[in-house]
Structure 1
Amino acid sequence: MDDHMDDRSTDEYRAAELAGFLLPGQQALIHERGWLKMLAPRAAGGAELPLPDVVRLEEELAAQDGSLGWVVTLCAGAGWFAGFLPPAVARDIVGTPRVCLAGSGAATGYADLDGDSAVITGRWDYASGAPMATHFTLNAVLREQGTVLCDDAGQPRIRAFVVPAAHVTLEPSWHTIGMRASASQAYRIDGARVPLSHGFTIDAAHATAQGPLYRFPFMALAYVTLAANLLGMATHFIALAEPLIATRRRHGGDVTLLDVPAVASLLADVRDALARDRAAFYAALDKAWERVAAHAAADEDTLRTVSLRLVDTCRQAVDGLYPYCGLRAARADAAINRVWRDFHTATQHTLLLPA
């Protein structure tokens, strides 16, 4: 870890997992470093960092702890939406003390239009970082006088909104084997009235902030930030696996598994494959960023391809090495077991399904 991080103990991450949320000290570190504002517009009080720098930091955080990296990634990603809000609204939200935006992309609620406001009702799943959120983002189907509004193709019109946490009721629905401290709870809104100015469209043509960050394609941003998290977790797993493999002995012999040529070759191949695909991933990201900064289009297909290839390589690395780690890796209180559980929980994100 570089100077972005301090040395958080394994015990602290284990305590956060048992608590089911990031601990106050971990939350304080996140706010102190300004990580949740790193994609928000500079004009609104954010850092507006170059995306390649953000993705590399997110990899680093996930290599420290899966839940930490995931919460920072998802909540900073929601902070990026400030670049599509009216500037005054964006400044008000980003300027909130200890601001944290959590949310869901599923359109599982309704926004009933009423003059210059919308009345929002619904339930949304998987809002990572929910307990520390000051605001929630969501997608809702638009209605007027009870009738669903449709676009020219006859499909329901969907609008994104940001809603203060005071209007939100959390539901303790996050009962997974891993990523427990991400606290990706469901949330409910029962008839909250919000100004239409809190609605936004996630599209470069509708960006209200200048700069390449807000011209970068949303889906491409989602792929690269999620893939970086899986890369960080896989890297952490390999670092914990090697000493276990080095001390575990073959049945009936004195030779350690690391001295078995096939196992040593497997470990070397895993490292080589991960380094190769990581390099290709960042080369594609850096090139895409340069193109967007020059007002050209990013190659979204390539970014999706390299992201999914990297995630697949991470899966092969973790699943390939796990059988050689022994029962110590199967203990629920072992750091490597937590990383294994976090990794396999995170891979269930819909965008990360094998191509």
Structure 2
Amino acid sequence: MNDDTTASVQGEHATQSIAEHAASAEAAGFLHPAQQALLHERGWLTMLAPRACGGSELPLPQVVRLEEAVAAADGSTGWVLTLCAGAGWFAGFLAPEVAREVLATPRVCIGGSGAATGHADREGAGFRITGSWDYASGAPMATHFTVNAVLRADGKPLLDADGAPQVRAFLVPASQVRTVQSWRTIGLRASASHGYRIDDQWVPETYGFRISPAAATSDGPLYRYPFYSLAYVTLAANIAGMAGHFIRLARACLGHRRHGGSGLPLLDVPDVIALLRQQQQAFDDTRARFYEVLDDSWAQVAGGAALDDSSMRAVQTASLALVATARRAVDELYPYCGLYAAREDSTINRVWRDLHTASQHALLIP
């Protein structure tokens, strides 16, 4: 068995294990211990972190395809992997000694939120942080949280050259954070994307960072790839994974249902078959275009070039097109799947709920 075959078999085994525990994870409201263990054992939560600091620093196209495969096995696991590995990417912007310290944490997992809903007051060689943030996927397993906070002095926001409040990102150990059990959604229940609070906690200045290629502390192309472009492709891959899973399950449902008028199996009804083929083809074509744009953009950055505005728009457009096509395919096929698809305890219903929860992410609004 060659290396490629071994990797393929191991990957299939991993996704099977993730899928096997999806229902019990949803019932528990968080990832099953076997799912968590797999994320740690494979090093997937640090796959975007710098190799020199203890991460894997995998090429972005490899990361995105992995995230799609995991989301196809279970939406919640894919979502936690994507959001927490994405937060691990910030290690490429931290002081290297801090990044090494953080990544050496046993079972390290970084969660967080991008909203600037807290403030940070300068105090000595650091900042005292207070605030409340929403939607930290994987919160119960997080060893650290990232926050965006408005910088203040004497209780007043510090302003930049344009008169806007200055915002800085910080990394805060979980011991200084209080999780708020606020995640009550129809889908992605096991992602446990709870809110969290920080009350008057001091962190060193070295735990602050800025997300910009110019501020990167690691040299690899990952840290020159634009943040929003990275966010678009990783989120879109999750939607694609869930949609692909739904389409496969929908085909199986159609094989067990009969047309109410003719009595024919739905898979023998020409209009139904045409719809299934049309949605599958549209999804496959849009997905192929998405990966073509992703691979091209990565080749540019890996070759030493910066993504210009046109290239970044192409990444965003391809990502949003994939999300829109995935939504359309799922919504067009769902009515043909019967009451089984409406049962909360069915796999296809969980996938439907996960996709429609994930697609509410603010970046995925057309």
Q: Please say if 1:316 is aligned against 2:317.
A: no
Residues 70-219 of structure 1: pairs in structure 2 closer than 5 A: 70-219=79-228
Q: Please say if 1:229 is aligned against 2:241.
A: no
Paired residues of 1:10 and 1:335 also in contact (CA < 8 A): no
Separation in 1, partners of 2:149, 2:261: 62
Cα distance per residue 1:310-351 (max 9 Å; x no partner): 000000000000000000000000000000000000000000
3-state secondary structure, aligned to 1:187: strand
206 and 10 in structure 1: CA distance in 2 versus 1, 3 angstrom threshold? closer
Q: 1:3 — aligned with what?
A: 10
Q: 1:333 — aligned with what?
A: 345
Separation in 2, partners of 1:252, 1:264: 16
Paired residues of 1:277 and 1:313 also in contact (CA < 8 A): yes
3-state secondary structure, aligned to 1:72: helix
Q: Which amino acid aligns with 1:348?
A: Q
- Report deviation, 1:12: 1.9
Separation in 2, partners of 1:138, 1:13: 29
Separation in 1, partners of 2:195, 2:341: 31
Q: Which amino acid aligns with 1:235?
A: G
Paired residues of 1:107 and 1:141 also in contact (CA < 8 A): yes
Q: 2:73 — aligned with what?
A: 64
Paired residues of 2:250 and 2:333 also in contact (CA < 8 A): yes
Cα distance per residue 1:67-113 (max 9 Å; x no partner): 00000000000000000000000000011110000000000000011
3-state secondary structure, aligned to 2:172: strand
Larger mean Cα displacement after TM superposition, 305-314 or 250-259: 250-259
Separation in 1, partners of 2:17, 2:66: 16
Give 5+ residue unaligned stretches, structure 2.
1-7
Residues 231-310 of structure 1: pairs in structure 2 closer than 5 A: 231-298=240-307, 299-310=311-322
- Report deviation, 1:167: 0.4
Separation in 2, partners of 1:214, 1:160: 16
Q: 2:358 — aligned with what?
A: 346
- Report deviation, 1:9: 6.9
Separation in 2, partners of 1:93, 1:204: 21
- Report deviation, 1:5: 4.1
Paired residues of 1:114 and 1:144 also in contact (CA < 8 A): no
Runs of 4+ in structure 1 displaced over 4 angstroms?
none
Residues 37-48 of structure 1: pairs in structure 2 closer than 5 A: 37-48=46-57
Q: 2:4 — aligned with what?
A: none
Cα distance per residue 1:117-171 (max 9 Å; x no partner): 1000000000000000000001000001211100000000000000000000011
3-state secondary structure, aligned to 1:138: strand
Give 5+ residue unaligned stretches, structure 1.
none
Separation in 2, partners of 1:131, 1:5: 27
Cα distance per residue 1:35-93 (max 9 Å; x no partner): 00100000100000000000000000000000000000000000000000000000000
3-state secondary structure, aligned to 1:102: strand
Cα-Cα RMSD: 1.0
Separation in 2, partners of 1:24, 1:10: 13
Paired residues of 2:18 and 2:73 also in contact (CA < 8 A): no
Q: 1:220 aligns with which of 229, 238, 260?
A: 229
Q: 1:36 aligns with which of 42, 45, 48?
A: 45
Paired residues of 1:74 and 1:128 also in contact (CA < 8 A): yes
Q: Which amino acid aligns with 1:83?
A: G
TM-score by length of 2: 0.95
- Report deviation, 1:243: 1.1
Separation in 1, partners of 2:42, 2:9: 13
Cα distance per residue 1:170-223 (max 9 Å; x no partner): 111000000000000000000110001000000000000011000000000000
Q: Which amino acid aligns with 2:136?
A: A
3-state secondary structure, aligned to 1:279: helix
Paired residues of 1:104 and 1:126 also in contact (CA < 8 A): yes
